[in-house]
């Protein structure tokens, strides 16, 4: 009995061990099929992109995917978002593959750091990588700040390249000299690992490759793996759009227009709703961007000047000041102290917004306020201050003709003969109070 019992316990332990190995094996999905997740970053590196990649890394890890392939095409982006993505790559126990594609795509500026941080870097034919020198957004950095930004970016990219055993010298030259190379040159310089024409070719090249992750070596088994292409949800796409500073700026101006139009025309409701929704979206978008509050203050000051121009006679001086403040504030709205940040507000958007804002306040709102202040020209109130002629003797009561109509009138200065020109100075119920006009 004892040998049988021992044999059964050995088999049970063996079965449990196999089940545990199956459950926790990183190379087999929960359905038992090998899978590879593929996502796309086509645009700037911003907070929405960083959150999206962080989420997708977690999803691929939970699905026990062989690896996560990121198709990349970017002109660059924000330093803070780039650091978040690089940190996720360097600490991931899931193999990350950056695939610069399709042909004609680029991994420029911040995209260089993201590509070098991947476990495996791949480029498609007809693509390029490089030009990671720090640049300013809207204004030039002074020599001291430029040197600091360049040294910081150079140290950052050296660390990444050394971690992934890539060409450290070239990586630093991409920062200091803004060099850019093709996929064949990148392969020759040991900047990337391989060149692949398609995802299918890439999977064949990756099969059997050993990758060093944060939890040790992982051997990829991608031959015959199912490719799961994950598209962004509507919410993720919306957040990515809102991370565009041009969109944030437009929403902010729309919010200001809507709320002020509602305040000057109470009861319209629709402009107020549009204004509040636009401002909320603008606040979210600005929250994700490196905002210069001095620029924001100048924009608010410009709006105040435009409003004062409507109420105060300044012969255009307040308008000129408002246009200058709005222009400077718009150009300064996004900070320029980040290394290799390329996100900026377009000059075209700024100029159009400044011209439209000046037109909006000086013409649209101006006409509305002037109409409110204008003396009534119809009805009983429109008669006050007008001239008429007596039809009968006013002693003191009688009748006069004014605006082609016959009115009861009372003289404010004694007897007035018929045919005399009079001025309507007031109204007592339906009787005009008039005074003789000296000729």
* pLDDT band, residue 273 (cuts 50/70/90): very high
Higher pLDDT, 184 or 215: 184
Question: Of 236, 254, 272, which one is at a domain's C-terminal end?
Answer: 236
Q: Do 202 and 71 reside in the same domain of the chain? A: yes
Whether residue 324 contacts residue 62, with contact meaning beta carbons closer than 8 Å, is answered with: no
| Residues known to be catalytic | 109, 148
Overall domain count for the chain = 3
pLDDT score recorded for residue 204: 94
Q: What is the pLDDT of residues 10-23, one digit of tens each?
A: 455 544 444 444 44
Task: Give the number of other Cβ atoms within 10 Å of residue 367's Cβ.
Answer: 11
pLDDT (mean) for 350-377: 70
Residues 318 and 324: their CA atoms lie apart, in Å, by 10
For residues 140-164, average pLDDT: 80
Q: Is residue 75 part of a domain?
A: yes
| Same domain (yes/no): 225, 304 | no
The mean pLDDT value for 408-418 works out to 89
Residues 68, 121, single domain; the answer is yes
In this structure, are 140 and 213 located in the same domain? yes
Same domain as 250, residue 231: no
pLDDT at position 303 is: 83
Which range among 110-114, 147-151, 218-222, 428-432 shows the weakest confidence by mean pLDDT?
A: 147-151
Contact 70, 265 (CB under 8 A): no
In a domain, 382, yes or no: no
Residue 294 vs residue 188, higher pLDDT? 188
The answer to pTM > 0.75 is no
Selection from 438, 381, 424 nearest residue 411 by Cα: 424
Claim to verify: residue 112 and residue 186 sit in the same structural domain: yes
CA distance 87 to 49: 14
292 pLDDT more than 70: yes
Q: Looking at residue 114, which CATH number applies to its domain?
A: 3.90.226.10
Position 10 in a domain: no
Beta bridge partners of 362: none
Q: Quote the DSSP letter at residue 403.
A: T
Average pLDDT over residues 407-432: 88
263, part of any domain: yes
Same domain, 352 and 397: no
SS3 274: helix
What is the distance between the alpha carbons of residues 320 and 86, in angstroms, rounded to a whole number?
46
- Please, which residues bridge with residue 74 across strands? 107
pLDDT at 53: 96
Q: Does residue 128 share a domain with residue 68?
A: yes
Q: Does 381 fall in a domain? A: no
Residue range(s) defining the domain that contains residue 425: 387-436
Residue carrying structure tokens 């700024």:
350
From 316, 344, 372, the end of a domain falls on: 372
% of the chain surpassing 70 pLDDT: 81
Same domain, 90 and 217: yes
Q: How far are the Cα atoms of 149, 254, 342 from residue 268, in angstroms, in the given order?
A: 50, 16, 40
What CATH number does the domain containing 420 carry? 2.40.50.140
Residue 9 lies in a domain: no
Mean pLDDT on 230-234:
92
Looking at per-residue pLDDT, the higher value among 80 and 265 belongs to 80
Instruction: Say if 6 falls within a structural domain.
Output: no
**Domain-located, residue 17:** no
Cβ neighbours of residue 45 under 8 Å, at least 6 residues apart?
74, 76, 77, 78, 81, 82, 85, 110, 111, 114
Same domain, 174 and 323: no
Last residue of a domain, one of 342, 372, 402: 372
> E strands of 3-125, at which residues?
35-42, 68-73, 96-100, 106-108, 120-123
Both 274 and 413 in one domain: the answer is: no
| Same structural domain, 65 and 200 | yes
pLDDT beyond 60 at 52: yes
């Amino acid at each position: 009995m004892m040998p049988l019992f021992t044999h059964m316990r050995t088999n049970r332990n063996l079965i449990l061990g196999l089940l545990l190995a199956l459950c926790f094996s990183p190379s087999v999905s929960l359905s038992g099929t090998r899978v590879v997740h593929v996502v796309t970053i086509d645009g700037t590196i911003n907070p929405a992109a960083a959150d999206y990649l962080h989420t997708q890394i977690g999803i691929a890890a939970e699905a026990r995917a062989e690896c996560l392939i990121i198709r990349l095409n970017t002109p660059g982006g924000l330093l803070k978002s780039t650091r978040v993505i690089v940190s996720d790559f360097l600490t991931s126990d899931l193999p990350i593959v950056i695939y610069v594609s399709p042909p004609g795509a680029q991994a420029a500026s911040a995209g260089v750091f993201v590509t070098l941080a991947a476990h495996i870097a791949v480029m498609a034919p007809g693509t390029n990588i490089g030009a990671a020198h720090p640049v300013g957004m809207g204004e030039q950095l002074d020599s001291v700040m430029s040197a600091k930004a360049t040294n910081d970016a150079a140290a950052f990219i050296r660390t990444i390249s050394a971690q992934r055993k890539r060409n450290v010298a070239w990586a630093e030259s991409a920062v200091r000299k803004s060099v850019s190379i093709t996929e064949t040159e990148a392969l020759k310089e040991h900047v990337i690992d391989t060149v692949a024409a398609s995802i299918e070719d890439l999977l064949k090249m990756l099969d059997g490759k050993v990758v060093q992750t944060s939890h040790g070596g992982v051997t990829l088994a991608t031959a015959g793996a199912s490719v799961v292409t994950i598209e962004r949800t509507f919410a993720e796409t919306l957040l990515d759009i809102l991370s565009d500073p041009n969109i944030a700026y437009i929403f902010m101006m729309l919010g200001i227009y809507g709320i002020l139009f509602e305040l000057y025309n109470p009861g319209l409701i629709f402009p107020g709703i549009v204004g509040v929704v636009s401002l909320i979206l603008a606040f979210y978008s600005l929250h994700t961007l490196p905002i210069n509050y001095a620029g924001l203050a100048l924009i608010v000051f410009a709006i105040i000047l435009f409003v004062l121009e409507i109420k105060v006679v300044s012969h255009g001086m307040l308008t000129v000041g408002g246009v200058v403040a709005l222009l400077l504030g718009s150009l300064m709205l996004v900070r320029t102290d980040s290394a290799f940040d390329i996100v900026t507000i377009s000059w075209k958007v700024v100029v159009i917004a400044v011209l439209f804002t000046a037109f909006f306040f000086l013409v649209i709102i101006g006409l509305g306020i002037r109409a409110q202040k204008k003396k009534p020209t119809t009805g009983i109130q429109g008669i006050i201050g007008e001239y008429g002629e007596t039809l009968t003797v006013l002693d003191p009561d009688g009748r006069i003709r004014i605006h082609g109509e016959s009115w009861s009138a009372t003289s404010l200065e004694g007897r007035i003969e018929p045919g005399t020109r009079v001025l309507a100075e007031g109204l007592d119920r339906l009787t005009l109070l008039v005074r003789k006009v000296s000729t």
